[in-house]
Chains A and B, each alone.
Chain A
Amino acid sequence: MSGTLDPSAPQRSYLWQDGTLRSWLLTRDHKRIALLYLGSITAFFALGSVGAALVRLQLLEPTGTILSDATYNRMFTMHGVVMVWLFLVPSIPVTLGNFLVPLMLGARDLAFPRLNLLSWYLFVASGLLVVYGLFRGGLETGWTFYTPLSSEYTEGRVLPVVLGVFLNGFSSIATGVNFIVSIHQLRAPGMGWYRLPLMLWALYATSVIFVLATPVLGITLLLLAFEHLFRVGVFDPSLGGDPLLFQQLFWFYSHPAVYIMILPGMGVVSEIVSTFCHKPVFGYRFVAWSSVSIAAIGFVVWGHHMFVAGTSLYSAIVFSMFSFFVSVPSAIKVFNWLGTMHGGSIRLDAPMLYAMGFIGLFTVGGLTGLFLASLAADVHLTQTYFVVAHFHYIMVGGMVSAYFGGLHYWWPKITGRMYPETWGRLAAGLIFFGFNLTFLPQFILGFEGMPRRYATYPAQFQVLNVLSSAGAGILAVAYALPLVYFTWSLFRGARAPDNPWRATGLEWRTASPPPVENFAETPVVTTYAYDYAELDGRAGPPGTAVGGPHV
């Protein structure tokens, strides 16, 4: 806002250079595309939350309160499909990632700006198709679309939903190609691989999954659509086809995809933890390579979703073993974050609260993943609320927290305004509390044997279900808070300085909000990513920044 009004300002901010709708819809500026994405995925997040709210309302009573069984099935499907593909898979990469990748690289834009815009249009088109299917008829298969339920027995709208998710995949691939190629080709002079911020390592690893796993989802859904549309056999057991083949193909994508839904969060947390401890990340190279190895090993564990489906024992053993391996790099990250915090002067601003929430909740989710990866335990726990709690701890407790943490952290850079800190901390605390109240009972429920995806349940489970639904209510309020105060801050928030958190990283060396071309002149990198000594040398003695350090 200041940019255009202040004649002395050397460059125009990307936000206000040209306010026409056309300039937004045809923009090739990665920063604006990030905001287009931010708007769209926020809408889908709201939509998915409505689905969750209805599910939790229904489960207040053992016999169900408001929905018919069929509607219940449609609601949890809606919730899952929307949350996974229209919110969580794109979340951090397409918003913070699109905004930050060029800035962190010291580049003017992504490698293929037009492709980037195309990916947003594909995303919107896919979202509209999915929503059309889900509201004109709905779908009862769950987000996993297992055959033959989805091909033969369904009464729902398979085609629009499946084709929507198919399109969505191409939007992901476009983003992935763009990030990988940009990180290879557009690093500023002096920016070697080991000088990249860890966020970029994480996004690189995520993009590998985008590019190499998503096409397999594409072909899987195409096979499914083909089978469903023409009533021919592909996975049909009555022809000797193998319904488990669908699951193999589906999980070849979807297990790596769960890492799409956590790796970017790990990147964000690495940045936040380092900044708010004012210390370089402990074991930088380990954290960097653990992202890559999570992405790589994540490709060979998918069979753990099929332990009880009737797959061969050999395959189950192999996949169980790899699943144990994949937890190693995850643990490395957790210990390195703790190592970074150890002895640091930790500032507990809102982003850091979210990051700490992430670390705790991700650890719980990861450890329970190991329970599930053990063959014997999984036979008992599979298809129960234990699994639901496991992945929500990681995807919601972990990733959504990281997403909110990242939004708070980079909000000053994106908008040029500070958010209200007190409200930020309050929301972070409330989210943590509401989250645990919602999902901790589900671990117990699952352990006691309550199956997932049923509209009703035995009366003895009611207390825990009521607790869980109450938590969901708190969570809903807590998620709405940032929406309110972020909007408020756009107009009334204090103006943000260029580097409000005294962070390293090239994005903090340009104006807030950045000018259209990102940097007045291409920055030259001379030190490693988290060199606070150099930063303090540039910025004057430590302790001069807002909110002095406190342990």
Chain B
Amino acid sequence: MARIAVCWGMLVLLLAAELAAARLGSGIGVGVLAVLMVLVIVLGFMQILRAPPLAIIFALGGLFWLTILLALGSLDSFTRTTVPVHAAALPGPTAE
């Protein structure tokens, strides 16, 4: 019970901090806080550390593959030079 209440309280505080960071315009801050919230849920509510070891392996595997998807998937867009992908490089403000 106490564990649940503490986790809930932490999540609420983190949410408040997130809103504050957003007001300050700190995208990074929001991102970090969001990751912390995810951690609270995974550790506090889902209790991954008390699950069978296999569960941890599966979760880490999922995370690893997610990283591959995001990293290699965005590689092209972020380094493309042949065809412009940025808004600024488009011919007009409202390219048809």
A302 to B90 Cα, complex, angstroms: 28
* Most A-side CB within 10 Å, residue of B73, B90, B96: B73
A492 interfacial by beta-carbon distance below 8 Å = no
B69 contacts across to A, CB distance below 8 A: 216, 252
1/0 per residue, CB under 8 A from B, across A207-223: the answer is 01000100010000000
CA of A276 to CA of B4, assembled, Å = 60
Whether A212 contacts B77 by the Cβ 8 Å rule is: no
With A311-B80, A313-B81 known as contacts, the answer to whether A248 contacts B61 (CB < 8 A) is: no
Q: Is the CB–CB distance between A315 and B76 below 8 Å?
A: yes
From A184, A238, A312, B76 is in contact (CB under 8 Å) with A312
Bound Cα distance A310, B62 (Å): 30
Q: Contacts A245-B77, A312-B79, A314-B75 known; A212 to B62 CB distance under 8 Å?
A: yes
Residue pair A249, B83 in contact (C-beta under 8 Å): no
- For B62, B77, B90, the residue with the greatest tally of chain A CB atoms inside 10 Å of its CB is B77
Known interface pairs A252-B73, A314-B75, A315-B75. Does A240 touch B80 (Cβ–Cβ under 8 Å)?
no
Q: Are A212 and B81 in contact (CB under 8 A)?
A: no
Interface size on B, as a range, is: 20 to 34
- Residue of A with least CB distance to B78: A312
- Determine chain A's interface SS by DSSP, over half rule: helix
Query: Are A212 and B61 touching (Cβ within 8 A)?
Result: yes
| Complex Cα gap A303–B69 (Å) | 12
Q: Which of A272-302 contact B (CB under 8 A)?
A: 299-300, 302
Contact A244 B76 (CB under 8 A): yes
B12 contacts the other chain (CB 8 A): no
B75 touches A240 (CB 8 A): no
**CB-based contact A299/B75 at 8 Å:** no
A162–B69 CA distance with the chains assembled, in angstroms: 22
Q: Which residues of B contact A303 (CB under 8 A)?
A: 72, 75-76
Whether B54 lies near A238 (C-beta < 8 A) is no
**Cα distance A319–B75 in the bound complex, in angstroms:** 10
B82 within 8 A of A: yes
Residue of B nearest to A247 (CB): B76
Q: A294 → chain B, closest Cβ, in Å?
A: 15
Within 8 A of A (CB), among B68-96: 68-69, 72-73, 75-77, 79-83, 85, 87, 90, 95-96
Most buried by A among B54, B62, B69, B90: B69
A240 to B85, CA, bound (A): 8
Q: Which residues of A contact B54 (CB under 8 A)?
A: 181, 184-185
Q: Which of B65, B82, B87, B90 contacts A212 (CB 8 A)?
A: B65
In the complex, per-residue mask of B16-47: 1 if CB is within 8 Å of any chain A CB, else 0: 00000000000000000000000000000000
Separation of A244 and B87 alpha carbons in the complex (Å): 16
Measured in the bound complex, the distance between the Cα atoms of B75 and A306 in whole Å is: 13
A300 touching B72 in the complex, CB below 8 Å, given contacts A184-B54, A240-B95: yes
Q: Is the CB of A315 within 8 A of B85?
A: no
Q: How far is the CB of A42 from chain B (nearest CB, A)?
A: 33
CB distance from A445 to the nearest CB of B (A): 29
In the complex the two chains form, what is the Cα distance from A296 to B45 in whole Å?
A: 31
What's the Cα separation between A244 and B73 when bound, in Å?
Answer: 10
User: Is A318 interfacial (CB-CB < 8 Å)?
Assistant: yes
Taking a contact as CB atoms under 8 Å apart, the answer to whether A311 and B65 are in contact is no
Q: Are B79 and A314 in contact (CB under 8 A)?
A: yes
A306 to B83, CA, bound (A): 14
Answer yes or no: A242 CB below 8 A from chain B CBs. yes
Contact at B73–A248, with CB atoms within 8 Å?
A: yes
Residues on the A chain within 8 Å of B80, using CB: 310-312, 315
Complex-state Cα separation, A356 to B72, whole angstroms:
37
B94 to chain A, nearest CB (A): 10
- Cα(A300)–Cα(B62), bound, Å: 15
Smallest distance from the beta carbon of B70 to chain A beta carbons, Å? 10
| Smallest CB gap from A256: residue in B | B65
How far in angstroms is the closest Cβ of chain A from B8? 30
Looking at the assembled complex, report how far the CB atom of A315 sits from the nearest CB atom of chain B, in whole angstroms: 4
Report A117 CB to chain B, min CB distance, Å. Answer: 23
Query: What is the chain A residue whose CB lies nearest that of B74?
Result: A248
Question: Smallest CB–CB gap between B81 and chain A, Å?
Answer: 6
Instruction: Identify which of A181, A302, A315 gathers the most chain B CB atoms within 10 Å of its CB.
Output: A315
CB-CB nearest 7 A-B residue pairs: A312-B80, A315-B76, A312-B79, A314-B79, A311-B76, A212-B65, A315-B75
Interface residues in chain B, defined as those with a beta carbon under 8 Å from any beta carbon in chain A = 54, 61-62, 65, 68-69, 72-73, 75-77, 79-83, 85, 87, 90, 95-96
Chain A positions near chain B (C-beta within 8 angstroms)? 181, 184-185, 208, 212, 216, 238, 240, 242, 244-245, 248-249, 252, 299-300, 302-303, 306, 310-315, 318-319
Can you give 12 contacting A-B residue pairs, CB < 8 Å? A238-B96, A248-B76, A302-B72, A303-B72, A303-B75, A303-B76, A310-B82, A310-B83, A312-B81, A314-B75, A315-B76, A318-B75
- 4 A-B pairs besides A300-B72, A313-B79, A318-B75 with CB distance below 8 A are A302-B72, A303-B75, A311-B80, A312-B82
